[in-house]
């Protein structure tokens, strides 16, 4: 995501001819986009994206169970 953001900023600076970026080659401006594509390809191929999604769903499930326990008064343990 950072590569994509950097690429968009560089693209905007190149298009509007602002600063020293205006003199750079278009190939240099395209490098962050290529790196973003490589990152996404690796993340999908390695299962990184799927693991992150599963972790997020598991955390939502745990939070939901905790909220339900607190609503029922079961999850709160009192000291004796």
pTM: 0.66
Q: What are the tens digits of pLDDT across the range 21-51?
A: 999 999 999 999 999 999 999 999 999 989 9
Q: Measured between alpha carbons, how far is 18 from 9 in angstroms, rounded to an integer?
A: 11
Asked whether the beta carbons of 61 and 39 are under 8 A apart, the reply is no
Question: Which residues, other chains included, contact 67 with Cβ-Cβ below 8 Å and sequence gap of 6+?
Answer: none
Asked whether the beta carbons of 15 and 40 are under 8 A apart, the reply is no
Q: Measured between alpha carbons, how far is 5 from 1 in angstroms, rounded to an integer?
A: 6
The residue behind tokens 């693209």 is: 11
pLDDT of residue 45: 92
In this model, does residue 76 exceed pLDDT 70? no
Q: Where are the domains of the chain?
A: 1-46, 50-80
pLDDT of residue 33: 97
């Amino acid at each position: 995501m950072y590569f994509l953001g950097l690429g968009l900023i560089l693209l905007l600076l190149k298009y509007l001819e602002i600063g020293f970026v205006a003199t750079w080659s278009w190939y240099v401006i395209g490098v962050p986009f290529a790196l973003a594509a490589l990152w996404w390809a690796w993340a999908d191929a390695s299962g990184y994206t799927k693991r992150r999604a599963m972790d997020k769903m598991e955390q939502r499930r745990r939070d939901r169970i905790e909220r339900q326990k607190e609503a029922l008064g079961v999850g709160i343990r009192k000291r004796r």
